[in-house]
Amino acid sequence: AQSVSQHNHHVILSEAASLELGCNYSYGGTVNLFWYVQYPGQHLQLLLKYFSGDPLVKGIKGFEAEFIKSKFSFNLRKPSVQWSDTAEYFCAVSRGSSNTGKLIFGQGTTLQVKP
Amino acid sequence: EPEVTQTPSHQVTQMGQEVILRCVPISNHLYFYWYRQILGQKVEFLVSFYNNEISEKSEIFDDQFSVERPDGSNFTLKIRSTKLEDSAMYFCASRADSPYEQYFGPGTRLTVT
């Protein structure tokens, strides 16, 4: 069955530190890849997405992610985090061939940024 | 910016009772979804809905669950006889035909006692 794995459950960083959150998926076909963020008390918001083309995608708030097909990975990065990036981050995958587009989520990574 | 809305934000019910969770998707969207997140666990897909019928459902979505789009704007999830293990945050999402990103509502926290 298709699955998504996020390596880090809880990450604590100081402001200005660099961030990389790992995401791997287990489906061998064409995929659509997403990172969602959930700020405290708010709903899931799309950070960035990959459907095709340039494997390095840029999202909102300075985030980017790189799709490495050979590694089945879609890691999220940000060169310099801010206190306001404190949130939960979810990687999600849908099958490119799927008519329904259902999302399979990773277990989430809680990011805590210390001022 | 248009957004998905959900009501109520928090629902407390007794075991065995029926609950209806309501969602208003973004108006020009065609695909509708319900997901749930049990505390401390992953967000899990429940069901997708397109063209007035279920297009896919998960193993979780058994006979106790049903969905409906009664009036062209609301999208509801009904749980006929709630169990303790149905306690979770339930998220509604919608998307257009293209592009494929789903827009999520703020969720309804369901507590079954």
Q: What is the pLDDT of residue B1?
A: 77
- Residue A114 Cα, gap to closest chain B Cα (Å): 23
For B62-107, how does the pLDDT look when each residue is reduced to its tens digit (9 = 90+)? 999 999 998 878 999 999 999 999 999 999 999 988 767 899 999 9
For B3-62, how does the pLDDT look when each residue is reduced to its tens digit (9 = 90+)? 999 999 999 999 999 999 999 999 989 999 999 999 888 899 999 999 999 999 999 999
Q: Given its phi and psi angles, is residue A64 left (phi above 0), alpha (psi -120 to 50 degrees) or beta?
A: beta
A43 versus A13: the higher-pLDDT residue is A13
Q: What is the pLDDT of residue B66?
A: 97
**Which chain A residue's Cα is nearest to B50?**
A100
Integer distance in angstroms from the first to the last C-alpha of chain B? 37
Mean pLDDT for A89-102 is 85
**Sign of the torsion formed by the C-alpha atoms of B85, B90, B94 and B99:** negative
CA-angle at A67, arms to A63 and A72, nearest 5° = 130
Contact criterion met (CB < 8 Å) for A102 and B56: yes
Q: Are B78 and B67 in contact (CB under 8 A)?
A: yes
For A56-90, how does the pLDDT look when each residue is reduced to its tens digit (9 = 90+)? 999 999 999 999 999 999 999 999 999 999 999 99
Q: What is the pLDDT of residue A98?
A: 67
Contact criterion met (CB < 8 Å) for A94 and B31: no
Q: What is the pLDDT of residue A93?
A: 94
**Position A97 confidence tier, pLDDT thresholds 50, 70, 90:** low
Q: Are B7 and B22 in contact (CB under 8 A)?
A: yes
Q: What is the pLDDT of residue A30?
A: 87
- Residue B91 Cα, gap to closest chain A Cα (Å): 9
**Which chain B residue's Cα is nearest to A106?**
B42
**Sign of the torsion formed by the C-alpha atoms of A105, A20, A61 and A42:** positive
Contact criterion met (CB < 8 Å) for B48 and A36: no
With contacts defined as CB-CB under 8 Å, which chain A residues touch B106?
Answer: 42-43
